[in-house]
Amino acid sequence: MNAYLSLVKFSHTVFALPFAAIGFTIGLHSGAGYPLDLRLLILVILCMVTARNAAMAFNRWADRKIDFINPRTTGREIPSGRISARNALIFTAINALAFWVSAYLINFVCFLLAPVALAIILGYSYTKRFSWLCHLFLGLGLSLAPVGAFLAVHGSLEWLPVLYAIAVVSWVAGFDIIYALQDIDFDKSHQLQSIPARFGLKGALWISAILHTVCALAILWAAWLLHRNYGLNDGIYIGSVLFILLLAFQHIVIGRGDLSKVNMAFFTTNGMASIALAAAVIFDFYC
């Protein structure tokens, strides 16, 4: 079990799940409002977890040959032999099926859109072979969290969850660029596409900063709409500013050229940022 949890980096669920919580909470209060349905909440969480499990396991399966020759990734589960490639693919299929069944149990709209979501999150694994825009494609996959959770409650789409989806695309793409700095030389030597490999360290950091600026603007715009349309308190602004400050912090750390801090910037800082933002939104709605 521990090997499979490591395979899908289960702890990294903290990136998208808080944004799903934001979309779900906004959905409950949209229009005339909807009562909190525990069954629906459980199904949304199942969709989040199984979709991410499928995406990560498939990514590890698709990248198994690359991981085997990359010194940074040879210890991963498939190259090290802890999980076979066949079992990783079976694990992907089981989670993809569980995701689709969960979507069916939510509503017909989510059921119809589930294959599209799977195509995006599974298709990302091959984007690095042909486009340095792969980071944006990863962001697109995670941006489905607030939109999907809102659709689960509301059944139709509104601007606010889309705005949070835009924030997630630019946020995730920005920090994935920072993470990819670790493999800049490997990607260049093996004809793999990434923004660091294409534009170099300084160029990549500039592009990451621009994307995170877009994210910050989207987060602040969403906060303003929540304050205006739902009468939320100033807590939403505090959570949004904290999110933005944590984005800035990782650029300060990595901007010094110390790539040994990448994991701290990638996981710790971004995990704290997403949790703080979601906590602020939920707290303002219910307190």
CA triple 131-146-119, angle to 5 deg: 40
Count, in order, helices (H) and strands (E) of the chain: 13, 0
**Residue 129's domain is classified under what CATH number?**
1.10.357.140
Tally of structural domains, the chain: 1
pLDDT at 55: 94
Give the range of the structural domain holding residue 246, as residue numbers without chain letter.
2-286
pLDDT value at residue 106: 97
Mark the ranges of the chain whose per-residue pLDDT is less than 50. none
The answer to whether 280 touches 23, Cβ cutoff 8 Å, is no
Instruction: Give the span between the Cα atoms of 174 and 130, in whole angstroms.
Output: 19
In this predicted model, what pLDDT tens digit does every residue of 90-148 receive, in sequence order? 999 999 999 999 999 999 999 999 999 999 999 999 999 999 999 999 999 999 999 99
H/E segment holding residue 223: helix 195-230
| Amino acid making up residue 19 | F
